[in-house]
Amino acid sequence: MADASLAGKVIVSIVSALVRTSPVAWHLEYEVRNTEQTPIWLVVDESLVLRRDGQRIELSCARGKMTPGAQPFGYFDPKVVEVPPGGSVRRSVEIAWPARLSGLWNAEREVAPPPGEYEVSVRIGHGTTPKPQPPGLGESVEAPVLRWQKEAVSQPVRLKLPAYKAAPE
Amino acid sequence: MAALRDRLGNARLARAIQRTVKVYHPADPIPNPGGKGVVATNAQTVEGYLQTLCSGGSVAVDGVSGNVTMAAGYCAHPKLWGWVPFTSTASSADKSKEPTGCNCLCDMVSAAATWWIEVNDSDWPHTSGHTVTTVSPNSDKIWGAATVSGKASPIDPWLVLGHELCGHAWLHQKGLPDENATRGEGGHQETVERENLIRAEHGLELRGNFKDPYCGESFWRDKAGPGPVEWSSFLAKCEAWRKKTYGGKYKISDKIP
C-alpha cells in the first residue's frame, strides 16, 4: 500500500483501502505517525470534506473552513486525540456513494462522481497543543482553529468506484 | 366579487398544494447507533418536531417525497374573504397556541424558495444555503444554551429545528436582518429573539441574550455521563468583549444591566 510523508514530521499513510459493492462504499484505513520529539493532537471530528479534481479525490478529516453564509448553532474546538512522540494512531474513513456530506463544510451536500478509477488521498489536521487559542475580538471564531491546525496528506491510492445507484431526489 | 372569490379561491388552493419545505431522504431511518434508540424515519421524526412547533394546522411530512404540508386555509387571513376590505382578521395560525411556530411554518411552506430539513447527528446543527439541520432523538449529544438565569439548559431537537428554521431561515426568507458576523459581541440576537418567541409559546425559560449570563451561548455535552458542558467558541468572544467594554466589572456568569 502506498506510504508517504509530508514535509517532515507527521506522516499519514493509507494502510488499507476496500471497495464495497452493495451498497457501494469505500473504506480506507490510515495511519498517522508522529516522528516529532513532542506530542501532537490529531483532529478526529466526524465531519468529512471531499475535494474532487477530475480523477483525484481527497478525503479530508482535517477541520475545514465553513461554507460562506453558513450559520452554525455554535462553533466548537476540534475533537482531538493525542499522539505521543514516536507514536502512531490508526483511523478509518468510510464513504458511501453517492456521498452525503455536511453543508457546513462542503459546497455540495451530495456528490456523485462517475464510476471509474480514482486516485484517493487522505488529509489530516493536527496541532502542537491540545486546543487552539480562544478567538479574540473582531476575528472570526474559525481563525484561531485554522491557525492552530497543521495539515498532512497521504500519497494517493488507486481505487475503483463501481457503478452505483444515484440518490433519489 | 365572484371573480375575486374565484381568484382568491385559486390562491388558497395553490397554497394548500404548495410544497416548499422538504425533508432530506424522508424514507431513510434516523441514525441509531447500537440499535437501542428510537426507530423512525427522517420524515416521521421531522413531522413530530414540526407538530411540536405548531400543534394545529395538521402539519404533515410525506414519507416518500418529504414534502411538508399544512391544512388548506389554516394560514389564510379571513380578510381575503371578508366584506370589509383591509380589515385584518386573524388566521387560524394567528389564533393557535403557537402563533410564532405556526406562522413560521405557514410562511416557509408558502415560500417561493424551497427549504430543506435534514436530520444529521454527525455535525453541529446549522443553516446553510436553503438547508436547515437538526439532530435526531438518538444523537449522542445534548445540545443547549444558557438561559436568562444563566442555566446551561438543554434544547430539545424540535427547538433546535425551531431555531434554525424559524430563526435563521425565516429571517432570511422574510428579508429581515440576521446579523451573525458579530456573534459574541452583539450579533445573533435576532435569531435568539425568534427562538424566545417559540420558547414563550411552550412555557420554557427564555434563552439569554449577549448581556445575560454566559451570553446566552450554545453548548453541547455528551449524553453519556452526561459529560462536561462544551461551550461554543463564541462564549470566549463574548468574554473578550465584556472585558474590553467593562473592564473586569462583569464576570461571564453575571448579567450586565
In a domain, A169, yes or no: no
Q: Which amino acid is at B110?
A: S
pLDDT at A34: 97
Angstrom distance (rounded) from CA B117 to CA B66: 9
Share of chain B above pLDDT 90, in %: 85
Distance from the A156 Cα atom to the nearest Cα atom in chain B, whole angstroms: 26
Q: How does pLDDT run across A59-97, given as a tens digit for each residue?
A: 999 999 999 999 999 999 999 999 999 999 999 999 999
Domains in chain A, number:
1
- Would you say the C-alpha torsion B179, B188, B191, A48 has a positive or negative sign? positive
Distance from the B241 Cα atom to the nearest Cα atom in chain A, whole angstroms: 6
Distance from the A135 Cα atom to the nearest Cα atom in chain B, whole angstroms: 6
In a domain, A48, yes or no: yes
Half-sphere exposure of A123 (CA within 13 A, CB side): 17
**In this structure, what DSSP letter does residue A52 have?**
E
Residue of B nearest to A138 (CA): B182
Interface of A with B in 63-82 (CB under 8 A): 67, 69-77
**Domain boundaries, position B139:** 2-75+91-246
Torsion of CA B97, B100, B105, B107, to 10 degrees: 130
Chain centre distance of CA B195: 7
Asked if the C-beta of B220 comes within 8 angstroms of chain A's C-beta atoms, the answer is yes
In a domain, B143, yes or no: yes
Q: Report how far apart, in Å, the C-alpha atoms of B234 and of each of A139, A140, B219 are.
A: 11, 9, 10
Banded pLDDT at B168 (limits 50, 70, 90): very high
Provide, as residue numbers in chain B, all residues whose Cβ is less than 8 Å from the Cβ of A46: 122-123
Distance from the B72 Cα atom to the nearest Cα atom in chain A, whole angstroms: 25
**Domain boundaries, position A15:** 4-161
The answer to whether B240 contacts A69, with C-beta atoms less than 8 Å apart, is: no
Residue of B nearest to A69 (CA): B128
pLDDT reading at B217 higher than 80: yes
The CATH number linked to A108 is 2.60.40
User: Which residue, among A64, A53, A2, has the nearest Cα to A29 in the 3D structure?
Assistant: A2
Q: What is the pTM of this model?
A: 0.90
3-state class percentages of chain B: helix first, strand second, coil last, to nearest 5: 35, 15, 45
Banded pLDDT at B18 (limits 50, 70, 90): low
Distance from the B24 Cα atom to the nearest Cα atom in chain A, whole angstroms: 9
In a domain, B257, yes or no: no
In a domain, B223, yes or no: yes
In a domain, A168, yes or no: no
Provide, as residue numbers in chain A, all residues whose Cβ is less than 8 Å from the Cβ of B173: none
Mean pLDDT, rounded, for A111-128: 98
Half-sphere exposure of B218 (CA within 13 A, CB side): 26
Q: For an interface test with A, which of B233, B235, B246, B252 has the most A Cβ atoms less than 10 Å from its Cβ?
A: B233
pLDDT at B78: 74
Asked if the C-beta of B168 comes within 8 angstroms of chain A's C-beta atoms, the answer is yes
Mean pLDDT, rounded, for B27-55: 97
Domains in chain B, number:
1
Asked if the C-beta of B97 comes within 8 angstroms of chain A's C-beta atoms, the answer is no
Angstrom distance (rounded) from CA B156 to CA B144: 8
Place of cell 435534514: B118
Asked if the C-beta of B62 comes within 8 angstroms of chain A's C-beta atoms, the answer is no
Asked if the C-beta of B122 comes within 8 angstroms of chain A's C-beta atoms, the answer is yes
Asked if the C-beta of A20 comes within 8 angstroms of chain B's C-beta atoms, the answer is no
The answer to whether A71 contacts B180, with C-beta atoms less than 8 Å apart, is: yes
Interface of B with A in 238-257 (CB under 8 A): 239-241, 244
In a domain, A166, yes or no: no
CB contact at 8 A, B125 and B143: yes
Banded pLDDT at B1 (limits 50, 70, 90): very low
Mean pLDDT, all residues of chain B: 91
Angstrom distance (rounded) from CA B89 to CA B65: 34
Angstrom distance (rounded) from CA B162 to CA B145: 14
pLDDT at B225: 86
Mean pLDDT, rounded, for A12-30: 97
Peptide bond into A84 cis (omega under 30): no
Cell readout for A140 is 472570526
Banded pLDDT at A138 (limits 50, 70, 90): confident
Provide, as residue numbers in chain B, all residues whose Cβ is less than 8 Å from the Cβ of A110: none
pLDDT at A141: 96
The answer to whether A71 contacts B128, with C-beta atoms less than 8 Å apart, is: yes
